[in-house]
Amino acid sequence: MNGTWDELVTSALLGTARRTPPVCARDGQDTAAALLDAAAVETVRRRAGALPAAARARPDPAPEDERPPLPAAARRRLAQLLADRTGGGRRTAAPDLTELLPQWLAAANRHGYQAPSALLPSLLEAARARTDLRTEALVLGGPRARWLAGLNPQWKYALRSGPAASQAAAGPADTRVWEEGLFAERAAYLTSLRRRDPAAARELLAGAWPTERAEDRLMFLDVLREGLSAADEPFLERTLDDRSRNVRATAAELLSALPGSALAARMADRARSCVSLDRTGGTGGMGGTGAGEGPRITVEAPHECDKDMQRDGVVVKPPSGRGERSWWLSQIVEAAPLAAWRERFGGRSPAGIVALPVTDGWQPELHAAWCRAAVRQRDAEWARALLGPASEPPAAEGASWRDPAKLLSALPAEERAEWVAEFVSAHGLSDAFRLLGVCAVPWAQPLGRAIVDALDTARDAGGYPWSFSGVMGLAERCLDPAQADRLEVLTAQPQEPDGGPAAAGAGAYWGEAFQRLVGTLRLRATMLAELKGPAGRPA
């Protein structure tokens, strides 16, 4: 007589030599074969005795999406991009479709289209595999994508995604979302309300503040960055007494971005007590910043971090390898309003202040804090002064405190592109990758021309094309597609340089790379035209 299913499975896993199965073998049949026969019979018996499961309730119908559908050509393009999204292998002269999908999604969303229902599963699966696609993919998918995600646990990320992706799920007037929704839905509602009515969003958050978890308070507080104004100061000032250190630090950061706030004034007073102008001149103690007669900046870092400083966001314990006093000083200067320094230094401009020598080796610390303040306060004049000319060497001695990529973010987009174009023209591409990442897309013509000229120069100099693959990939995605015809000449096979066996074949790779660049630009132009549709729908 056959044993139970569990006994048969146990014997099969352990092996018949170690566990005798509860079966009766026929004449001449070995034990293993008898086990398989018994398992087959037991399987049929189990299936025959299975009872039908109770029918589940049918899901609610998918919500309507009132946005216009994609033009037919754009719909076919999306299907192609989703089908080829895996990529892989060595790059050839053909465009890399995996890198074009994010750009296509963003362009489609600018037109306000909805995703085809038949492609929603593929779209959700693509966004599951690539987090950089999620925001734009879920905006295109709209309410139907979120409805579909609720039926498949593998797509649950769509139910907790950020504000931009879940706008369609939370109507701006539905306060029940704030009261009863998931965190992502509540964050989306608060963000939407903040954009329409900043005061109402702030009051809504203030009303729920005492009952929110610390991690949720931190994320909700971050919503106030958009549209931050002096009207937010009373709420943020109260938040400085929050029981969460991270919440207090974020509130202090937001207040320091308001130059007229009471916290900014307190930080300005502290900063002025630490940093001053010495008009007596002299040559001693310059700490490597230059010597000579004339005004100079002197620094006296704080000797303690009192309770008031801590309440205003100054962290007591420095990072490993950092001195306490310099750590406290940097936080104070970073949070002080930059406008206060003009008066402190006799009406000098930011450029004039930055040019002053600093005693006792404090220049890197002081200038680094000013850099962070310029980025936080979006002060273009200070950012411009701290950046200096683009023609300066990128690793100039004594300028390790400077982070050009962050400082550039405080400049207008056109000036940013001009500075990076001048930098590339002067120094080439080796230190330009991070700088290109902060430039608006498509790149302005001077910047695009500087990048292409630098790539062409690298090829003529016998450089290896794979050394510039990162910049080449950015160029494929960021150059103006209208430049494709002008760049056609670069696809010609160059003459091999005299570089020995190591350089052999580099010319073929360069030709292939430029063919891919031109092909990608033309494909991007075609994709944008497809999204406009036959009637030329504007973005």
d(CA 227, CA 230): 10
Please give the DSSP secondary-structure letter assigned to residue 358. Answer: B
Give the chain's end-to-end CA distance (angstroms, integer): 75
At 500 the pLDDT is: 47
Look up residue 53 and give its two tokens.
């499961």
d(CA 300, CA 362): 9
Query: Residue 530: beta bridge partners?
Result: none
Look up residue 337 and give its two tokens.
């309003």
d(CA 229, CA 252): 14
At 537 the pLDDT is: 56
Helices (H), 466-505: 469-478
**One pLDDT digit (tens) per residue for the chain, 539 residues:** 445 788 888 888 888 888 888 888 888 888 888 889 888 888 888 888 777 778 888 888 999 999 999 999 999 999 999 997 655 555 666 788 888 999 999 999 999 999 999 999 999 999 999 988 998 999 999 999 999 999 999 998 887 654 444 444 444 446 788 988 878 778 888 988 999 999 999 999 999 999 999 999 999 999 999 999 999 999 999 999 999 999 999 999 999 999 899 999 999 999 999 999 997 765 444 444 444 578 999 999 999 999 999 999 999 999 999 999 999 999 999 999 999 999 999 999 999 999 999 999 999 999 999 999 999 999 999 999 999 999 987 655 445 667 899 999 999 999 999 999 999 999 999 889 999 999 998 999 999 999 999 998 888 887 877 788 889 989 999 999 988 888 888 877 655 555 544 455 676 788 888 999 999 999 999 999 999 976 555 55
Please give the DSSP secondary-structure letter assigned to residue 114. Answer: B
Look up residue 218 and give its two tokens.
């931190």
* Residue tagged 């494909």 (tokens): 523
d(CA 220, CA 185): 12
CB count in 10 Å sphere of residue 286: 17
d(CA 208, CA 224): 15
Q: How far is CA 376 from CA 327, 345, 365, 369, in A?
A: 18, 21, 17, 11
Give the residue from 483, 525, 520 showing the smallest Cα distance to 94. 520
d(CA 83, CA 119): 10
At 505 the pLDDT is: 60
Q: Are 247 and 218 in contact (CB under 8 A)?
A: yes
d(CA 17, CA 36): 15
d(CA 445, CA 480): 8
At 1 the pLDDT is: 41
d(CA 351, CA 355): 6
- Give pLDDT tens digits for 375-433: 999 999 999 999 999 998 765 544 566 789 999 999 999 999 999 999 999 999 988 99
Look up residue 400 and give its two tokens.
């390790």
At 90 the pLDDT is: 55
Look up residue 78 and give its two tokens.
């999306």
pTM: 0.75
Give me the DSSP letters along 118-139: GGHHHHHHHHHH-GGGHHHHHH
Q: Are 385 and 392 in contact (CB under 8 A)?
A: no
Residues 6+ apart with CB under 8 A from 523: 95, 100
Look up residue 348 and give its two tokens.
């000098």
At 165 the pLDDT is: 41
d(CA 437, CA 447): 12
d(CA 423, CA 393): 9
